[in-house]
Structure 1
Amino acid sequence: MTRILIADDHDVVRSGLHSILGSQPGWEVVAEAGDGKRAVELASETQPDVAVLDYQLPFLNGVDATREIRSVRPQTEVLIFTMHESEPLIRELLQAGARGYLLKSDARRFLIAAVEALARHQPFFTGRVSETLLSSYLAGGSTSGSTLTPRERGVVQLIAEGRTNKEVAMVLGINIKTVETHRAAVMRKINANSSADLIRYAIRNKLVEL
């Protein structure tokens, strides 16, 4: 039996994925989450074989949720299911521990194959994603990824979602002074002068949706 966790902040997407994946012989959808933090909790509780995560999740985005899931449950393979085709994003997700990357536009053709591959602990990338990585490699693309740490990205995401420093601290389980320290570090790194600059950065780097 292949156990699957689904995480997406859109009910209709979760419902569609559940219907498709749950109907496959020998597969069971054991949990659904609407945000990254809950996805990590459910991965620990239900111990899925494969976690299908949207990149743009509230609280913790796909990169940070992947990293935490792989930390608490190394046996769980992560498939990122997203509309974004970005070489730096793909690299960052691979570094976080994801072994599969599927564009939502390719789901009809490749979703089942992607989950099957990850259930066998084999990586899965469509030709389009492989071409993106290959083109970057041939062009001498950078492998350094984001200048922000995972915690800093989490703080920026929550601020961009409209949360106060106190709320950010509660969500991330840290104190307000630490939030303020991370916020100041981010603003220095990205040359931001206001919360509006942080929000623009979050949107530009796809930490939040418009």
Structure 2
Amino acid sequence: MIRILLADDEIMIRAGVKAILGSDPGFDVVAEASDGREAVDLAISHHPDVALLDIRMPKLDGLAAAAEIRRAAPGVAVVMLTTFGEDEYIASALDVGASGFLLKSGDPRELIAGVHAVAGGAAYLSPKVAHRVITTLSRGRLSRGSAAKERVAVLTEREREVLALVGAGMSNAEIAGRLFIVEGTVKAYVSTILTRLGVRNRVQAAIIAYEAGLVA
């Protein structure tokens, strides 16, 4: 069972999102918050697997709440759920350690797929957001490629192999199956890769993999 914290200051939005999540028998919404400060407190006290956070909330916005949750409860995967898809929000969400970014205007199936993905250790961006990120990366890929290759050079051959699969969007279980190793070993590799690259989450690692040419 995937335990979920849902935070949004609009009751109707929370009810709608909760209804969508309720259509999947593998989900359990264990806590709901109406502001960012409450979301942080509930994440610490309930230890959910995934925290779904709106970006614009009172007392503490979703981005600040995400940063605090990642510091205080690093085992909680954070997904930003918002009506706003501007590039600055996407970049900020990734910077604070969010593992996913979904638009409220998207297909409900994206929400379900995104929660499953981040709960399984992968990253997930809604298709519209992913297109924006890739387009932005493509514009400056040549200028950043050399720097990314230097960062990747510190990794072992196996770590680069794992990084490439992270960049391809695979979960820990999928990587384990591809490389014929246990999932715990994959988690250890990913943790080491994040540390050696100096990044906070899989999305940032995937971007480096893309810029370094490890992912088509």
Give the TM-score, by structure 1 length.
0.64
Aligned pairs (5 A) from 1:1-210: 1-140=1-140
Partner of 1:154: none
Mapped contact 2:20–2:108 kept (Cα < 8 A): no
- 1:92 to 1:116, Cα distance in 2 relative to 1, 3 A: same
Instruction: State the shift of 1:9 in Å.
Output: 0.4
Name the count of aligned residue pairs.
142
Residue 173 of structure 1: aligned partner = none
Alignment check: 8 A CA contact 1:87 1:136 kept: no
Identity %: 42
Aligned-pair distance for 1:89? 1.4
Instruction: Find the aligned partners of 1:94 and 1:55 in 2 and give their Cα distance.
Output: 13
SS at 2:9's partner residue?
coil
Aligned partner of 2:139: which letter?
A: A
Change (3 A) 1:57 1:107: farther
* Aligned partner letter, 1:95: D
CA distance in 2, matches of 1:140, 1:85: 20
Aligned-partner Cα distance in 2 for 1:62–1:82? 9
Runs (5+) with no aligned partner, structure 1: 144-210
Give the equivalent residue in structure 2 for 1:157: none
Residues 142-200 of structure 1, C-alpha deviation per residue, up to 9 Å, x if partnerless? x9xxxxxxxxxxxxxxxxxxxxxxxxxxxxxxxxxxxxxxxxxxxxxxxxxxxxxxxxx
* Distance in 1, Cα, partners of 2:135 & 2:23: 37
Aligned to 1:203: none
Q: Tell me the secondary structure at the aligned position of residue 135 of structure 1.
A: helix
Q: Contact between 2:80 and 2:100, CA under 8 Å: does it hold in 1? A: yes
Report the CA distance between 1:127 and its aligned residue. Answer: 2.1
Give how far 1:109 is off: 3.2
Moved over 4 A (4+): none
Q: Is the 8 A contact 2:50 2:78 kept in 1?
A: yes
CA RMSD in angstroms comes to 1.7
Counterpart residue identity of residue 65, structure 1: A
Between 130-139 and 29-38, report the one with greater CA deviation.
Answer: 130-139
Q: Tell me how far 1:138 sits from its aligned partner.
A: 3.0
Structure 1 stretch 65-74 or stretch 20-29: which is displaced more? 20-29
The amino acid that maps onto 1:38 is E
Q: 1:102, CA displacement in angstroms?
A: 0.5
Q: CA deviation at 1:104?
A: 0.7
CA distance in 2, matches of 1:10, 1:111: 18
Q: Does the aligned pair in 2 maintain the 1:7–1:52 contact within 8 Å?
A: yes
- Tell me by how many angstroms 1:91 deviates: 1.1
Distance 2:108 2:26 in 1: 20
* Residue 135 of structure 1: how far off its partner (Å): 2.0
